[in-house]
């Protein structure tokens, strides 16, 4: 079972000071999947990815990449794992060619065609200094360097951050090209829900350092439903709906997003606003936003009780 998982974690926990940032994460990402990691800023995405990469020691718990303990990855293990840093860090004093040479000589495998095609796709002149590249071009170089090393597992920390639409499209195409060849696993964090919907087949959602969603994108869509009720806003009864993810006000109505809606859920909603109960279509983006808004709302809830 564990061998089918490219990424796994058991009780992975990380504190900064006495503040918990990643809270007892149990995680399994099957091999060959493209998984999107979603969450608000500060939900613990980057911390989780860094712990998985063995770049940060967990406070408790453990994780494995390709069956190897994250904290004891050898150079050979790392050769099979690609990683791009948030913000696409590169040595700005190098040229693109020098970066390529540096990368080529610190990884055992090198797919030159992959590098050249990716760089071309982003419209980069390899003789340029990294310093003068645009953000999108930097992302292109970073991606080209990582993919040309032919990793089995690719972990991308918010690769689309701050990219223009053209670079975003190039990024998606590059990723999909990469996945088209062999059993390759990709885990990427992002805030661009439309891109995620196109590219991934699995989603992870983190809220306050906890994992609340880990499933296929279709399963996620099927199990999330949205309903419209004609009830006064902020009714206590709404908070009691089982599986309530988020409730918001639209005009005079309340839009309710629930997970795993069943007879009990519907009965609860009927009791509140039976006459007006109406099921609404819901997009992937709306479903994710419901989760993320829920966490933000609970933030303000905590803030209120604290005050």
What the block records as the tokens of 154 is 């690719």
Q: Would you say 159 and 191 are in contact if contact means Cβ atoms under 8 Å apart? A: no
Question: Binding another protein by CB under 8 A: which of 3, 18, 41, 182?
Answer: 18
Task: Assess 178 for contact with another protein (CB under 8 A).
Answer: no
Task: Name residues contacting another protein, limited to 215-274 (CB under 8 A).
Answer: 215-221, 223-224, 242-245, 258-260
Contact window for another protein (CB under 8 A) among 47-55, 111-119, 126-134, 267-275: 47-55
Q: Which residues contact 298 (CB under 8 A, 6 or more apart)?
A: 208
3-class SS string, 155-199: EECCCCCCCCHHHHHHHHHHHHHHHCCCCCEEEEECCCHHHHHHH
Task: Name residues contacting another protein, limited to 118-137 (CB under 8 A).
Answer: none
Question: Binding another protein by CB under 8 A: which of 31, 79, 95, 117?
Answer: 79
Closest CB 169 distance from another protein, rounded Å: 7
Task: Assess 92 for contact with another protein (CB under 8 A).
Answer: no
Closest CB 81 distance from another protein, rounded Å: 7
Complete edge-to-edge strand list for the sheet that includes strand 224-229:
244-250, 253-259, 224-229, 278-280
Task: Assess 289 for contact with another protein (CB under 8 A).
Answer: no
Q: Which is nearer to another protein, 132 or 232 (CB)?
A: 132
Phi and psi at residue 75, in whole multiples of 5°?
Answer: -60, -35
What the block records as the tokens of 300 is 């303000």
Q: Would you say 138 and 170 are in contact if contact means Cβ atoms under 8 Å apart? A: no
For residues 254-282, one letter each, b for 16 or more C-beta atoms within 10 angstroms of the residue's C-beta and e for the rest, the string is bbbbbbebeeebbebbeebbeeebeeeeb
Q: Site size for another protein, by CB under 8 A? A: 88
Phi and psi at residue 225, in whole multiples of 5°?
Answer: -140, 155
| Degrees to nearest 5, angle at CA 66 with 144 and 106 | 40
For residues 158 to 177, the per-residue mask of contacts with another protein, x marking binding by CB under 8 A and - elsewhere, is -----------x--xx--xx
Rounded Cα–Cα distance for residues 38 and 287 (Å) = 12
Question: Binding another protein by CB under 8 A: which of 6, 22, 34, 160?
Answer: 34
Closest CB 158 distance from another protein, rounded Å: 12
Question: Binding another protein by CB under 8 A: which of 7, 12, 48, 107?
Answer: 107
What the block records as the tokens of 227 is 């309903």
Question: Binding another protein by CB under 8 A: which of 89, 232, 233, 301?
Answer: 89
Q: Which is nearer to another protein, 116 or 201 (CB)?
A: 201
Question: Binding another protein by CB under 8 A: which of 161, 237, 277, 282?
Answer: 282
Question: Binding another protein by CB under 8 A: which of 37, 124, 195, 273?
Answer: 195
Contact window for another protein (CB under 8 A) among 37-45, 110-118, 129-137, 213-221: 213-221
């Amino acid at each position: 079972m564990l061998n089918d998982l490219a990424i796994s974690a058991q009780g992975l926990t990380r504190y900064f000071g006495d503040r918990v940032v990643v809270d007892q994460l149990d995680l399994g990402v099957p091999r060959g999947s493209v998984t999107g990691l979603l969450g608000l800023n500060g939900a613990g995405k980057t911390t989780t990815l860094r712990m998985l990469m063995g770049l940060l020691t967990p406070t408790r718990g453990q994780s494995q990449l390709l069956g190897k303990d994250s904290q004891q990855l050898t150079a050979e293990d790392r050769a099979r794992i690609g990683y791009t840093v948030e913000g696409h860090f590169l040595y700005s004093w190098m040229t693109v060619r020098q970066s390529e040479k540096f990368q080529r000589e610190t990884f055992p495998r090198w797919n030159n065609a992959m590098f050249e095609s990716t760089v071309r796709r982003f419209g980069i002149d390899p003789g340029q200094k990294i310093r003068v590249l645009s953000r999108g071009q930097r992302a292109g170089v970073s991606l080209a360097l990582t993919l040309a090393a032919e990793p089995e597992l690719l972990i991308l920390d918010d690769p689309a951050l701050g990219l223009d639409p053209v670079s975003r499209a190039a990024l998606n195409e590059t990723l999909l090209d990469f996945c088209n060849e062999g059993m390759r696993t990709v885990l990427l964090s992002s805030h661009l829900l439309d891109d995620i919907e196109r590219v991934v087949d699995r989603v992870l959602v983190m809220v306050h350092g906890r994992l609340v969603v880990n499933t296929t994108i279709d399963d996620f869509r099927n199990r999330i439903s949205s309903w419209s009720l004609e009830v006064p806003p902020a009714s206590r009864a709404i908070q009691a709906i089982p599986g309530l993810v988020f409730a918001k006000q639209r005009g005079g109505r309340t839009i309710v997003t629930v997970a795993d809606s069943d007879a009990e859920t519907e009965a609860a909603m009927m009791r509140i606003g039976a006459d007006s109960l109406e099921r609404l279509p819901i997009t992937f983006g709306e479903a994710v936003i419901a989760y993320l808004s829920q966490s933000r709302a609970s933030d303000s809830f905590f803030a209120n009780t604290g005050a």
